[in-house]
Structure 1
């Protein structure tokens, strides 16, 4: 009933608290649609994860920027978020409170998305166990790949692809 990428997002979000990976799996899903058909609620959910990633690293300006954008998007996506099994009103209240906390430079605290669909919740908890984490675990601040993934990951494939795209654009421009 739900896209696999969304399930993965929820599991990474609530299991290992790997917000960077949340961003990766949901962005890949979002980009599968043609640009004209891309759904903004995916962007909002991506931005929630990115915001929490920044807050956990004490990058409050990045956290505030992403959470503000996420709230702007998600406040217009009630039906789509409800179709994703989320408690819409509760979600917005939690996001607004977290944004207030960010403006007050409060330390990161764990954040859970309010899931209304109990079958979805049970399924995600099982998937979390399958990858070796408990649903609702605390962030592992000792795990650099969770906390600082954007600086530690291997980016060679991304860099290579960008260089290829630049080469193609340059060739087209000269033609």
Structure 2
């Protein structure tokens, strides 16, 4: 029902909270569908914003989430199972938190399809993944540093 890259994005978003990986997965998918689906771009922007926020880059996180919020007000989320109105409310609240310089807290995407989130969390449990533990890992917090080394060979 949902595209596999989207499900992979949600797995990383909720289970590993690896927002860098979310960005990578969704950007590749977005490009493969011809950059015509703004909903995928919005999810990319959300992941990038949260990645910056967790690292204390408030200006980058605010800029990206503001762009995401603006985009989300003008697109349809019908193919995602996301509760669009609830999502917009939570985006606005998160944006205000960031503008006030509040510390990072995980963001929970609200769904109109409850089976979607249930399946994601069941997958986390099957793999014995603790999201709170995962997001404290240096490899998750500063993944861009590790990616540069990996791609650049050292």
Do the two structures share a fold, i.e. TM-score over 0.5? yes
Correspondence for 2:142: 148
Corresponding residue pairs, total: 151
Superposition TM-score, scaled by structure 1 size: 0.80
Of structures 1 and 2, the larger Rg is shown by: 1
Flag the 1:99–1:17 CA change in 2: closer, same or farther, 3 A: same
Q: Given the alignment of the two structures, is residue 47 of structure 1 paired with residue 45 of structure 2, yes or no?
A: yes
CA distance in 2, matches of 1:18, 1:103: 22
Distance 1:33 1:3 in 2: 11
Residues 17 and 135, structure 2, Cα contact 8 Å, conserved in 1? no
Residue segments in structure 1 that go unaligned for 5+ positions in a row = 158-175
After TM superposition, the structure 1 = structure 2 runs for residues 1-175 of structure 1, keeping only pairs within 5 Å, are 1-35=1-35, 38-77=36-75, 79=76, 81-134=77-130, 137-138=131-132, 140=134, 142-153=136-147, 154-156=150-152
SS of the equivalent of 2:92 reads helix
2:16–2:135 Cα contact (<8 Å) kept: no
Q: Deviations over 1:98-149 (max 9, x none)?
A: 1111110000011110012122122212222344324xx3264541110000
Gaps of 5+ in 2: none
RMSD of aligned alpha carbons: 1.7
Alpha-carbon distance in 2 for matches of 1:11, 1:27: 15
TM (norm. structure 2) is 0.90
SS where residue 21 of structure 2 aligns? helix
Once the two structures are overlaid, the 10-residue window that deviates more, 121-130 or 110-119, is: 121-130
